[in-house]
Amino acid sequence: MNYQKYQKMYHKVPLETRDWPNNEITKAPIWCSVDLRDGNQALYSPMTIDEKIEFFKFLVKLGFKEIEVGFPAASHTEFDFVRRLIDENLIPDDVSIQVLTQAREHIIKKTVEALKGAKNAIIHLYNSTSTLQREVVFNKNMEEIKQLAVDGAKLVKSLVDGQLDGNIRYEYSPESFTCTEMDYAAEVTNAVLDVLKPSAENKVIVNLPSTIEVATVNVYADQIEYMCKHLNNRENLVISVHAHNDRGTGVASSEMALLAGADRIEGTLFGNGERTGNADIITVALNMFCQGIDPQLNIDNIDEIIEVYEKYNRLPIHPRHPYAGEMAYVAFSGSHQDAIKKSMDKFGSSPKNKWANPYLTIDPTDIGRKYEPILINSQSGKGGVSYIMENKYGYTLPKPMLVEFAALINDMSDEKQTVLTNHEIHQAFKDTYVNVSSPIKTKFYRSSDENEQTVLSATIEHDGKVSSIEGKGNGPLDALCNGLRQYLGTDFEISNYTEHALERSSDSRAATYIAITDHVHTYWGAGVDANINTASIYALVSAVNRMIEHQK
C-alpha cells in the first residue's frame, strides 16, 4: 500500500490553550434533522414528495424543532415539497424549516421564492472555503472567496427583507471547514456576520461542518473552540456542527464539538448521508440519555423509528448498530451473559433503581426493547443458559446441574456451528433430564405408612417388561430409592434435591431436580408434575435412567 501518496488535508490549529478537555456535556443541544436534504440526496431512490411529507411529520413527532427540508433550487421536486409544506399548513408553529442555498444569485433567488408564506424558516447559506476547493474547484483566491460569501449574504438579506414576512433566521456554513485555515475561516465568517448583523433577538447560526473528516476528533474540537474564541458577537451566535463520517467518528466529532462550545448538532437518523454518512443523531441522543441527560427527543420506541426509517430510506439497520441493532442487546460470551444476568437479578428494570449493568449502558425497556435475545453458541456459558431457562421457561436449575447442562448446550452449538434458539435449548433440557421414561418407566405407585416408615409399591416398565417393586424408607422418595436399588442390584445415593413451583399460579406445576451418585459419577434428573411427590419420583427415575444408560 502506497501510504506515501497521502498527506494531511487539515491545517494546524493556532490554539494556545484549550478548554474542551475539562468540559462535560450537561444538556442536550439544539437538534436539526437533515434527513430530508442531506439524507435524501444520498439515497439510491430519493423520496417522493408524499414520502417526504410523511417523513417530515414523523420527524416532528420525534420532537425536532428545526428540520432541513431541502435544496429548493435543486429541482422541481425539492421546490414543490417546500411549497406543499407551507401551502398546506403542515409546519407546526414551533417548528422551523431550513433550506439550503449556495452563495449564487439565481439559487438564492429561487430559495427565497420557495419560502414565501413560511412562518418560521432558516436560510442556510454556504460556500466552500478550503485550500483545495479554492484552488481546484473555484480557481479563486482568498479575497475572492470571501467576497463571494459576503455578496451572497447581502443578497439573501435584501431579498428576505423585501419579500418574506415570517420569522426568517440565517445560517452560514464555510463548507469544507475542516480543511480550511482557521484564521481564514474566522475571517470569512466574521465578514458574513457583519452583513447578517446577529442580535439577541435574532441570533445567527454559524455551522462549522466536517464536510469531510480528515483528522482525529481532538483536532475538530480544537477547530470548534478556536472559532468560538475568534468569532465576533459570540453571545448572539448559535454554533452548529454538521459532522460527516468519513473516518467513522461522526458521533465522536459531534460530542467533542459540544465540549468545545457548540450549541447545535445537524445530523440524521442512524447516520444516513453522503459517502459514509452523517452524525447519527439517535446514537448521540442515547449517549446523553445513558449519562442521565434528557435528550429532548421522543426516542422511547426505537423499533418504530427503525420501521419508518427503513420504509422511506430503503436502507437496513446494521444488526450491531449502537442501541438500535437487532443484536445490540445480545451477548454470546459466557462471562458477559453471566454478568448481565446477575445485574438484572440484582437491579432489574425498576424505575426506582439506578441502572447499573456491566455490559448494557441503558435499560432496553426504556426504548421499547426487552432483554430477551440472549443467544447461545459455543462461546456462551452458564449465565446465558440460566437466563433463558429461568426467564423464558421458569426453571431455576441448581448450580451443579446448570454447569453440566451449559456444557451440553455448548457442545450442541459447537457441533451445529451456529446459534441455538431458545426452543432448541428448552427441548434439549426436556429430552435430557425431564420425566425421562427409558429404559425405566413408572406406570403406577402407591405409598402407605407402616411402623413409622413409608412403604412404596410401584409398577414399572423396564425395556418393555412390566414388573412390581417395593421399598421402605423415611418417605416416598427414600422408599423408591431402596426399591430401585434392590431391583437393579446397584448402589446409589441421592446427593442433591431441589424443588420449586414452575409457574406462579394456583394450578402451578412443581419442578424437582435430583442428583444421584454411584460413588463415581453424578447423574441429574428433573421431574415436572402438578403433584410435588410425583414430580420427585419422576426426577429420581430420570436420574436413574441416565445412570443406567451411562453404565451400559
Kindly state the DSSP code that residue 373 receives in the 8-state scheme.
Answer: -
Q: Among candidates 216, 222, 352, 214, which has minimal Cα distance to 275? A: 214
pLDDT tens per residue, range 472-493: 999 999 999 999 999 999 999 9
Using the predicted structure, report yes or no on whether residue 380 has a pLDDT greater than 80.
no
Contact 248, 215 (CB under 8 A): no
Using the predicted structure, report yes or no on whether residue 107 has a pLDDT greater than 50.
yes
DSSP string, 127-177: EE-SHHIIIIII---HHHHHHHHHHHHHHHHHHHHHH--SEEEEEEEEETG
220 alpha-carbon distance from chain centroid: 25
Higher pLDDT, 328 or 153: 153
pLDDT tens per residue, range 225-238: 999 999 999 999 99
Q: What is the mean pLDDT of residues 397-407?
A: 94
**Among all chains, which residue has been given the C-alpha cell 447559506?**
125
DSSP string, 393-442: H-----HHHHHHHHHHHHHHHHHHTSPBPHHHHHHHHHHHHBT--SSEEE
Using the predicted structure, report yes or no on whether residue 341 has a pLDDT greater than 50.
yes
What's the pLDDT at 9? 93
Contact 249, 281 (CB under 8 A): no
Using the predicted structure, report yes or no on whether residue 262 has a pLDDT greater than 70.
yes
- Among 199-208, 355-364, 431-440, the range scoring the smallest mean pLDDT is 355-364
Higher pLDDT, 390 or 207: 207
pLDDT tens per residue, range 45-61: 999 999 999 999 999 99
CA distance between the termini of the chain: 63
What's the pLDDT at 383? 75
Q: What is the mean pLDDT of residues 271-298?
A: 97
Contact 469, 484 (CB under 8 A): yes
What's the pLDDT at 97? 98
> How many other CB atoms sit within 10 Å of the CB of residue 217?
21
Higher pLDDT, 353 or 258: 258
pLDDT tens per residue, range 418-450: 878 889 999 999 999 999 999 999 988 898 988
Q: Nine-digit cell at 178? A: 475542516
* Nearby residues of 274 by Cβ (< 8 Å), 6 or more positions away: 38, 41, 42, 244
Burial, 50: exposed, middle or buried (Cβ in 10 Å; 0-12, 13-18, 19+)?
exposed
Pairwise CA distance, residues 431 & 437, whole Å = 10
Using the predicted structure, report yes or no on whether residue 118 has a pLDDT greater than 50.
yes
**Among all chains, which residue has been given the C-alpha cell 428545526?**
66
Using the predicted structure, report yes or no on whether residue 392 has a pLDDT greater than 50.
yes
Using the predicted structure, report yes or no on whether residue 504 has a pLDDT greater than 60.
no
What's the pLDDT at 414? 85
**Apex 18 CA angle, 282 and 279, nearest 5:** 15
- Among 236-250, 296-310, 399-413, the range scoring the smallest mean pLDDT is 399-413
328: three-class secondary structure by DSSP: coil
Q: What percent of the chain has pLDDT over 70?
A: 96
Contact 480, 488 (CB under 8 A): no
- Among 152-161, 246-255, 321-330, the range scoring the smallest mean pLDDT is 321-330
Pairwise CA distance, residues 480 & 461, whole Å = 15
Q: Determine the residue type at 136.
A: V
Average pLDDT in the chain: 93
Burial profile 364-395: b = 16 or more Cβ within 10 angstroms, e = fewer: bebbebebeebbbbbbbbbbbbbbbbebeebb
Q: What is the mean pLDDT of residues 506-512?
A: 82
- Among 16-20, 366-370, 456-460, 534-538, the range scoring the smallest mean pLDDT is 366-370
Burial profile 138-177: b = 16 or more Cβ within 10 angstroms, e = fewer: eebeeeebbebbbbbbebbbebbeeebeeebbbbbbbbbb
Pairwise CA distance, residues 257 & 269, whole Å = 19
Using the predicted structure, report yes or no on whether residue 155 has a pLDDT greater than 90.
yes
> How many other CB atoms sit within 10 Å of the CB of residue 422?
17
Beta strands in 428-547 (DSSP E): 440-450, 453-462, 465-473, 493-501, 510-517, 522-529
What size, in residues, is the chain? 552
Pairwise CA distance, residues 496 & 517, whole Å = 9
Using the predicted structure, report yes or no on whether residue 351 has a pLDDT greater than 90.
no
Beta strands in 259-349 (DSSP E): 264-267
Query: CATH 3.20.20.70: which residues of the chain?
Result: 25-313
541 alpha-carbon distance from chain centroid: 47
Task: Report CA torsion sign: 42, 46, 52, 58.
Answer: negative
pLDDT tens per residue, range 12-51: 999 989 999 999 999 999 999 999 999 999 999 999 999 9
Q: Which of 255-264, 370-379, 417-426, 528-537 is most confident?
A: 255-264
Using the predicted structure, report yes or no on whether residue 373 has a pLDDT greater than 50.
no
Report the predicted TM-score, pTM, of the whole model to 2 decimal places.
0.77
CATH class in words for 440-551: alpha beta
Pairwise CA distance, residues 253 & 276, whole Å = 14
Composition of the chain by helix, strand, coil, percent to 5: 45, 20, 35
Instruction: Provide the CATH number for the domain formed by 25-313 in this structure.
Output: 3.20.20.70
What's the pLDDT at 350? 66
Q: What are phi and psi of 74, to 5 degrees?
A: -75, -35
- Among 18-22, 220-224, 341-345, the range scoring the smallest mean pLDDT is 341-345
Query: CATH 3.30.160.270: which residues of the chain?
Result: 440-551
Kindly state the DSSP code that residue 36 receives in the 8-state scheme.
Answer: I
What's the pLDDT at 215? 97
Question: β-pairing, 237-243 with 264-267?
Answer: parallel
Strands of the sheet containing 465-473, edge to edge, are 440-450, 453-462, 465-473
Using the predicted structure, report yes or no on whether residue 374 has a pLDDT greater than 70.
no
Pairwise CA distance, residues 208 & 257, whole Å = 10
Local confidence band at 211 (pLDDT 50, 70, 90 cut-offs): very high
What's the pLDDT at 237? 98
Pairwise CA distance, residues 11 & 182, whole Å = 7
Pairwise CA distance, residues 491 & 547, whole Å = 11
What's the pLDDT at 326? 84
Pairwise CA distance, residues 220 & 223, whole Å = 5
